[in-house]
Chains A and B, each alone.
Chain A
Amino acid sequence: DAGVIQSPRHEVTEMGQEVTLRCKPISGHDYLFWYRQTMMRGLELLIYFNNNVPIDDSGMPEDRFSAKMPNASFSTLKIQPSEPRDSAVYFCASSSHSGSRELFFGEGSRLTVL
């Protein structure tokens, strides 16, 4: 079975540019989570969806960040405009309702904003 698929794996961009990160969850999973990982703060939950509906976005740093899940097999995390402090690894994870405590992570998207 395919795991959680994220793209791009690496992105280098300049401050002020728009960044879009993409995620395909595991088929049949109805929870999707976006995390950000930095050395200083560890893994931080940004937002999560249940059945494509955003449930809690209190972890989204500011209005420059937005996330969508137009259907059960696709989600995006967008940063506009990007800033150097957004540099981090962004992980998407999914889980099924019955085992929502057991997350399956993608390989991450490493973002560098110059």
Chain B
Amino acid sequence: GQQLNQSPQSMFIQEGEDVSMNCTSSSIFNTWLWYKQDPGEGPVLLIALYKAGELTSNGRLTAQFGITRKDSFLNISASIPSDVGIYFCAGQLSTSGNTPLVFGKGTRLSVIA
């Protein structure tokens, strides 16, 4: 099936640093979403993107829908300890209407205080 390549797989950063992660695909997506999963919990939606080129912020988080529709990135500014978790990108294919999301394998973020 379709796959999303998410990178990096893991990150160790100092508190206060900015973080950047991205997702790429060989297919065109018409929706990109970013989820965060805290330990022992289910993923929670952070940001949804619906238009190519769209740049959306949610507090210290900023995500962009790539112009080619084949990529997206998520930035976290001034990281804090509660940013720890796994961040997933997810996309929906453009030709498939109401189809389920395809998820990346996640970026595991660790923040060192």
Q: How far does the alpha carbon of A103 sit from the alpha carbon of B103 in the complex, in Å?
A: 12
* Chain B residues within an 8 Å CB radius of A60: none
* Chain B residues within an 8 Å CB radius of A108: 40-42
* Chain B residues within an 8 Å CB radius of A107: 40-42
* Chain A residues within an 8 Å CB radius of B98: 97, 100
* Chain A residues within an 8 Å CB radius of B42: 4, 91, 93, 105-108
Chain A interface category by residue count: 20 to 34
Chain B interface category by residue count: 10 to 19
Tell yes or no: B87 within 8 A of A by CB. no
* Chain B residues within an 8 Å CB radius of A104: 45
| 16 A-B pairs (CB sep. < 8 Å) | A42-B103, A43-B106, A100-B98, A101-B33, A101-B48, A101-B101, A102-B48, A103-B45, A103-B90, A105-B42, A105-B43, A105-B44, A106-B42, A107-B41, A108-B40, A108-B41
Which A23-44 residues have C-beta < 8 A from chain B? 33, 41-43
Q: How far does the alpha carbon of A7 sit from the alpha carbon of B40 in the complex, in Å?
A: 14
Q: How far does the alpha carbon of A56 sit from the alpha carbon of B98 in the complex, in Å?
A: 12
* Chain B residues within an 8 Å CB radius of A91: 42-43
